[in-house]
Amino acid sequence: MFARTYGATTLGVDGAIIDVEVDSASGLPGFDIVGLADTAVKESKERVRTAIRNSGIRLRQEKVTINLAPADMKKDSSGLDLPIAVGLLAAYGVLPQESVERSLFAAELSLEGECRGVRGVLPMAVQARDKGFEKIFVARENAEEALLVEGLQVYALQNLGELVRFLTGQEALEPAAPQAETGSGETEAFEDFADVQGQYQAKRALEIAAAGGHNVLMVGVPGSGKTMLARRMSSILPELSREEALEVTKIYSVAGLLRGGGLIRQRPFRSPHHTSSMVAMIGGGSVPRPGEVTLAHHGVLFLDELPEFTKKSLEVLREPVEDRQITVSRVHATLTFPSSFILIAAMNPCPCGYHGDPDKECNCTPGEIKRYTRKISGPLLDRIDIHIQVPRVKYEELSSRRKAESSSVIRARVEAARAIQLARLQEHHLFCNAQMNHALLQKLCVLEPQAQSLLEQAFRRLDMSARSYDRIIKVARTVADLAGAEKISAQHIAEAIKLRDDTGLGLE
Ligand SMILES: [Zn+2]
């Protein structure tokens, strides 16, 4: 007999429906899976047969052919176990074909017939809903994730036997009920700027960066708190909208990193080590999975010890930083992953780390320092609008009992500035100042006369490049937005000039 069921795999960060066609006929007993199946899917052959037997169902030996369509799409999901098992049971007449229609099945089976969670259930459920499916059957641990998609009945399964009894009408099974959305992210400790004493300049720079979506380079001696500051950046970015939260949750679902299953409500913070492989950074694998630049989507990518990253790693960062997405090419698919993040890079001022430190002596030669800083120059640096120095905090500041300003207070200012930018930029399909190109800057950034002359003076005196000139106006626009000012004043320009290269290293 012939039967058809539906499963799904992931393609980039989206789900893709897979037709599972099963044909069983008398003849030489056999069991074949055709249709560009990955090893994980080929292995499902044994799991499915054993799981069915251990669920107490005996099937006579026949010639079974399973076709996974579309044929040209690589399938890697162990979640195809369940639709294959269900299709097989329907082809043998154990399950009526009508009982499996308009339903999507996505779970791995253990040899005992237990249903196990798989990665990517959220994008699969989104796709199922969009394609008009009414029900999705998943393992219990994936139920909460599937429930994030409205307009789909979610059935949480413990094992195959339970599903068979339900589909044959022997046992009732209620759809899972959505729980109050608590969100998995909220259980994590939230790091707050209230705990950071001193560092007023760095905090101000990060507030401006958050407000305008600017990338930041922090230069400072070891122990100055660069990492601590960067970690708190996500806490002052605007709250994720539900749409953004779903995008982030989909990415973590595909990567298999969704803990707890609920909606991620916190902006991601990713800090890959400088020894991370290229695949780990940008994504990849035989069926490409998201890399760090995508896991940081809508959040912060922190690169500590920037000069230690390989030249190649820094080069590949160019595409996501410029285009807010990354293209990963493989034999069977070219996939695009979203990667819109704020880049925060940190480095020591010199190889030994103590150049310019009042307490410790630097033992690097000028040549060594030059070689060290030269590693990071070039196109990536061009895309970092704000360069600041982070000094070690003075003892008096550390020991002061006064609580610093909290992240929520800073975030309120950031959100107000973002709202102003959105109103100005949305007709150009942009949302923050850092995204403006030269032409837009000229059109949208009006400088007061004094601001104009201050900028001209600085341009000549500091021998600036055209890029630097644009960067200053962009940052000044954000400073003005934070102040609620319509035009850019001399004061705004002065702050932006300082932020352009406050590192003492002459990086440009
Ligand atoms: Zn040194």
Residue-wise DSSP of 224-249:
SSHHHHHHTGGGGSPPPPHHHHHHHH
CATH code of residue 333: 3.40.50.300
Do residues 87 and 44 touch, judged by C-beta distance below 8 A?
Answer: no
d(CA 221, ligand 1 centre) in Å: 9
Q: How far is the CA of 197 from the centre of ligand 1 (A)?
A: 26
pLDDT of residue 391: 87
- d(CA 366, ligand 1 centre) in Å: 9
Cα 34 to middle of ligand 1, angstroms? 61
Same domain, 444 and 403: yes
Q: What is the largest CA-CA distance in the chain?
A: 90
Amino acid at 210: A
Structure tokens at 47: 């799991």
Q: How far is the CA of 362 from the centre of ligand 1 (A)?
A: 4
- Pair (487, 414) in one structural domain: yes
Same domain, 452 and 486: yes
CB 78 within 8 A of CB 40: yes
Q: Do 374 and 429 reside in the same domain of the chain?
A: yes
Report CA(297)–ligand 1 centroid distance (Å).
35
Do the domain assignments include residue 175?
no
> From ligand 1's centre to the CA of 355, what distance in Å?
5
Q: How far is CA 178 from the centre of its chain?
A: 25
CA dist 418 and 66 (Å) reads 53
State the Cα–Cα distance between residues 68 and 47, nearest whole angstrom: 17
Q: What single-letter DSSP state applies at residue 428? A: G
Q: How far is the CA of 258 from the centre of ligand 1 (A)?
A: 42
Give distance in angstroms: CA of 372 to centre of ligand 1.
10
Distance 77 CA to ligand 1 centre (A): 51
Q: Are 213 and 342 in contact (CB under 8 A)?
A: yes
78 plus 117 within the same structural domain: yes
pLDDT on residue 395: 65
Contact criterion met (CB below 8 Å) for 300 and 344 = yes
Residue 58 CA, ligand 1 centroid: distance in Å: 74
Position 507 in a domain: no
Judge whether 100 and 133 are in contact, CB under 8 Å. Answer: no
Q: b/e string for 131-154 if b means 16 or more Cβ within 10 A?
A: eebebbbbbbbbbbbbbbbeebbb
- Ligand 1 center from residue 508 Cα (angstroms): 20
Cβ–Cβ < 8 Å for 325, 339: yes
351 Cα: distance to centroid of ligand 1 (angstroms): 5
**Residue 421 belongs to some domain of the structure:** yes
The per-residue pLDDT for 332 is: 67
**Helices 160-167 and 81-91 meet at what angle, rounded to 10?**
40
The alpha carbon of 354 and the centre of ligand 1 are apart by a number of angstroms equal to 5
Q: Give the whole-angstrom CA distance, residue 326 versus residue 330.
A: 13
CA of 471 to the centre of ligand 1 (A): 29
Whether residues 141 and 195 fall in one domain? no
Nearest to 247 by CA among 203, 298, 209: 298
Structure tokens at 448: 């007061």
How far does residue 374's CA lie from ligand 1's centre (Å)? Answer: 15
Tally of domains within the chain:
2
Distance 277 CA to ligand 1 centre (A): 28
* pLDDT at 29 (0 to 100): 83
Token look-up 């930018």 returns: 421
Q: How far is the CA of 303 from the centre of ligand 1 (A)?
A: 20
By residue range, what is the domain housing residue 12? 2-167
d(CA 66, CA 86): 12
Question: How far is the centre of ligand 1, averaged over its atoms, from the C-alpha of 504 (Å)?
Answer: 14
Statement to judge: residues 278 and 159 lie in one domain: no
Give the residue from 47, 112, 54 showing the smallest Cα distance to 79.
47
Q: How far is the CA of 5 from the centre of ligand 1 (A)?
A: 65
Of 134, 167, 200, the residue at which a domain comes to its end is 167
CATH number reported for the structural domain that contains residue 96 in this entry: 3.30.230.10
337 phi, psi to nearest 5 deg: -110, 140
- CA of 506 from ligand 1 middle (Å) equals 16
Average pLDDT for runs of 10 along the chain of length 508: 94 93 89 78 85 93 91 82 96 93 96 95 96 97 93 96 96 86 51 88 96 96 91 93 93 89 90 92 84 96 94 89 88 85 95 87 91 82 90 72 87 96 93 93 94 93 85 96 96 94 70
Looking at the fold, whether 257 and 144 belong to one and the same domain comes out as: no
Residues 251 and 372 in one domain: yes
Q: Are 169 and 142 within 8 A, CB to CB?
A: no
Claim to verify: residue 379 and residue 476 sit in the same structural domain: yes
CA dist 447 to 207, 269, 441, 490, Å? 22, 35, 11, 8
Give the distance (Å) from ligand 1 centre to CA of residue 348.
9
Cα-to-centroid distance, 224 and ligand 1 (Å)? 15
| C-alpha 369 to ligand 1 mean position (Å) | 7
Q: Note whether residue 118 is domain-resident.
A: yes
> What's the CA gap between 478 and 473, in Å, rounded?
9
- Name which of 353, 352, 351, 357 is nearest 374 in CA terms: 351
Q: Same structural domain for residues 290 and 408?
A: yes
Structure tokens at 456: 């001209």
Task: Say how many Å lie between the CA of residue 396 and the centre of ligand 1.
Answer: 26
- Sign of the C-alpha dihedral computed for residues 252, 257, 258 and 263 taken in this order: negative
Establish if 172 belongs to a structural domain.
no
Q: What is the pLDDT of residue 50?
A: 94
Predicted confidence at residue 402, as pLDDT, reads 73
Q: Are 111 and 251 contained in the same domain?
A: no
Q: How far, in Å, is the centroid of ligand 1 from the Cα of 339? A: 35
Q: Is 179 within the bounds of a domain? A: no
Distance (Å) from CA 133 to ligand 1 centroid: 63
56 within domain boundaries: yes
Residue 507 in contact with residue 387, Cβ under 8 Å? yes
pTM of the model: 0.90
Res 292: pLDDT:
96
Q: Choose one of 167, 200, 216: the last residue of a domain.
A: 167
Residue 180 has a pLDDT of 65
Neighbours of ion ligand 1 (CB under 5 A): 350, 352, 355, 362, 364
**Of 269, 114, 204, nearest to 482 (Cα)?**
204
Domain stop point among 132, 167, 202: 167
Q: Does 178 fall in a domain?
A: no
- pLDDT value of position 187: 41
